[in-house]
Structure 1
């Protein structure tokens, strides 16, 4: 357990403060950057900042969940999902830089809160732990769909990133269900939606 805590603390510092790296090619590699107005750049950057903060939350959730997961297979599934979310961080961060913007100031707070939720979810047992992961990914998929509808039509680079993220999130949800994830009670789903809405509204600006 002490080793796991040290590893998770190092992971937290890297997620919040260090630039992320991607092992896979960037989804927008080779896609030409379009001419965007200042208003379109501002909006695209706000959406990508929300996506980046969402991936920070995902990292924290998965790390917390893997720390308390009882089944080694479930823990491994969480760790693998976390690795792919790290690539999402790299994609969003580079796109934010290209748009002349920045990451959210709220990321350290978001990470801490999400890590605590992950630890709690893991402590409730693997079926609820994995069910929480699956529901998280379903809701993220919904957010990404709304971003694809809202991004400037000509912003093909941001769109390529969001589309690949959506594919990965769907896969993570399916993996969680395949490992025995349970369907969460409706009040829990609604609480998750409310907290997610609060995060997206604030991270867009801050």
Structure 2
């Protein structure tokens, strides 16, 4: 069986894209909820995290509406992403502010690549979705840059932490495309 590469038609096509993107944005809102539950308002980074969380909520609302409008089935494992996202956010925040930022930087690194692959695959086939993905991708990159500016790379065991989170994101993306 031929392995999928950017530019190839994806099994499930646009429906799969919408499903995985909605799941990802949902997961992002849960990560920030977990971080804020631990950090509260006492951290100097809380305002930045709240701002990123608001943007993720806007992204999620877009994909929630698109799922309803286009009749796409959401991922069946959203309850797992609910708990896993919150736990990831809470644990990284408990380690410290830099670890919370390392989480954001790692997630957004994978999401940037994921969105870039989707844009390559979409081409000009769905201009509305392509425009939304481009806008969201730019905002995700802003989150990554903010996380790096706030000390993500100073987190304890940063390469290991970031690598594990990135691997988890890749797994979540692949699972959410299909299930």
Pair 1:113 & 2:84 matched: yes
Residues 36-85 of structure 1, C-alpha deviations (whole Å, 9 max, x = no match): xxx98941110111111111111111111122237532112111111110
Pair 1:161 & 2:132 matched: yes
Pair 1:53 & 2:26 matched: no
Residues 101-129 of structure 1, C-alpha deviations (whole Å, 9 max, x = no match): 12212112111011111111001111121
Root mean square deviation of aligned Cα = 2.1
Residue of structure 1 aligned with 2:97, choices 117, 122, 126: 126
SS of 1:182 mapped into structure 2: helix
1:205 Cα deviation (Å)? Answer: 2.0
Residues 124-153 of structure 1, C-alpha deviations (whole Å, 9 max, x = no match): 111121122122112211111111112253
The residue that corresponds to 2:112 in the other structure is 141
The residue that corresponds to 1:27 in the other structure is none
Aligned length: 168
- The 1:177/1:155 distance shift into structure 2, 3 A limit, reads same
Q: Which runs of 5 or more structure 1 residues have no equivalent in the other structure?
A: 1-38
Checking the alignment, whether the CA contact within 8 Å between 1:59 and 1:85 is kept in structure 2 is yes
CA distance, structure 1, for counterparts of residue 56 and residue 82 of structure 2: 13
| Mapping of residues 1-206 of structure 1, within 5 Å | 42-69=12-39, 71-151=42-122, 153-182=124-153, 185-206=158-179
- The 1:190/1:131 distance shift into structure 2, 3 A limit, reads closer
Residues 5-60 of structure 1, C-alpha deviations (whole Å, 9 max, x = no match): xxxxxxxxxxxxxxxxxxxxxxxxxxxxxxxxxx9894111011111111111111
Q: Which moved more, 1:176-185 or 1:147-156?
A: 176-185
Normalising by structure 1, we get a TM-score of 0.73
Normalising by structure 2, we get a TM-score of 0.84
CA distance, structure 1, for counterparts of residue 122 and residue 68 of structure 2: 17
CA distance, structure 2, for counterparts of residue 90 and residue 41 of structure 1: 25
Checking the alignment, whether the CA contact within 8 Å between 1:148 and 1:162 is kept in structure 2 is yes
